[in-house]
């Protein structure tokens, strides 16, 4: 593997905690199926907005959730619109939503909590996980795709999803003891790395 790949891995372990880095060559594969990856990306944003709304509805008694997730939902919907605009600009169209294998596998990691508070922790950490991996993927795209406009486009998402990753982890710590959050986060990171190891690296999917 190239020294670049190791630099990437090191950076991401430090920043996002990911236990398995994506091969940066993935970005060049993705660029070859732009319509598909933009479509998949658009639906990732839609799902992020939808999940945020559900979180607010289910935890409307928690002021910090309502206050902080509401602007996040607006931002994710803004992302959806940005991806649509990018498709249009390039004469491409939004295709149909595909099965989200990555998220389906991640959801299997969720402990079926016996109470609402434990369920909230599971949800917040799974959301943080999706943001972290998305951030890693957008970063690779922002560094390695050939089109400079696309690099700038993905850079913006990278920054924004990094903020969301942080926000979900901070919310988890607001409602649960820090050591409990840390221990469970480690387990989820390990489980996610295992999922990634077993998934085919596809250029037409964000994850
Ligand atoms: Fe987003
Ligand atoms: Fe996000």
CATH dotted code for 3-198: 1.20.1260.10
What is the predicted pLDDT for the residue at 7?
Answer: 58
Copy the structure tokens of residue 33.
């199926």
Is pLDDT of 1 > 50?
Answer: no
Q: Which residue has the tokens 């409307």?
A: 60
What is the predicted pLDDT for the residue at 102?
Answer: 96
What are the tens digits of pLDDT across the range 67-126? 999 999 999 999 999 999 999 999 999 999 999 999 999 999 999 877 999 999 999 999
Taking the centre of ligand 2 as the mean of its atom positions, its distance from the CA of residue 177, in whole angstroms, is 24
Helices (H), 17-147: 26-32, 34-58, 63-89, 101-107, 116-144
Taking the centre of ligand 2 as the mean of its atom positions, its distance from the CA of residue 137, in whole angstroms, is 12
What are the tens digits of pLDDT across the range 151-204? 999 999 999 999 999 999 999 999 999 999 999 999 999 999 999 999 988 889
Q: How far is the C-alpha of 98 from the C-alpha of 94, rounded, in Å? A: 12
Copy the structure tokens of residue 115.
């109470």
Confidence class for position 56, pLDDT limits 50, 70, 90: very high
Considering the entire predicted model, what is its pTM?
0.93
Taking the centre of ligand 2 as the mean of its atom positions, its distance from the CA of residue 158, in whole angstroms, is 9
Cβ-contact 19, 190 below 8 angstroms: yes
Going from the C-alpha of 46 to that of each of 84, 150, 159, 163, 196, the distances in angstroms are 11, 20, 18, 18, 22
Nearest ligand, measured from the Cα of 164: 2
Q: Where are the domains of the chain?
A: 3-198
Nearest ligand, measured from the Cα of 44: 1
Cβ-contact 42, 87 below 8 angstroms: yes
Is pLDDT of 41 > 50?
Answer: yes
């Amino acid at each position: 593997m190239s020294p670049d790949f190791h630099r990437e891995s090191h950076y991401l372990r430090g920043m996002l905690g990911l236990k398995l880095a994506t091969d940066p060559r993935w970005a060049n594969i993705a660029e070859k199926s732009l319509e598909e990856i933009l479509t998949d990306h658009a639906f990732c944003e839609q799902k992020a907005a939808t999940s945020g709304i559900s979180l607010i509805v289910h935890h409307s008694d928690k002021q910090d959730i309502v206050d902080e997730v509401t602007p996040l939902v607006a931002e994710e919907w803004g992302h959806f619109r940005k991806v649509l605009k990018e498709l249009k600009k390039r004469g491409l169209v939004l295709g149909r939503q595909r099965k989200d294998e990555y998220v389906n596998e991640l959801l299997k990691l969720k402990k079926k909590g016996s109470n609402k508070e434990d369920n909230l922790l599971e949800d917040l950490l799974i959301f943080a996980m999706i943001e972290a991996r998305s951030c890693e993927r957008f970063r690779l795209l922002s560094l390695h795709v050939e089109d400079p406009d696309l690099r700038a486009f993905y850079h913006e998402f990278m920054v924004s999803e990094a903020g969301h990753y942080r926000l979900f982890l901070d919310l988890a710590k607001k409602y649960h003891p820090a050591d409990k959050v840390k221990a469970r986060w480690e387990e989820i990171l390990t489980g996610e790395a295992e999922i990634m190891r077993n998934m085919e690296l596809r250029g037409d999917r964000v994850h």
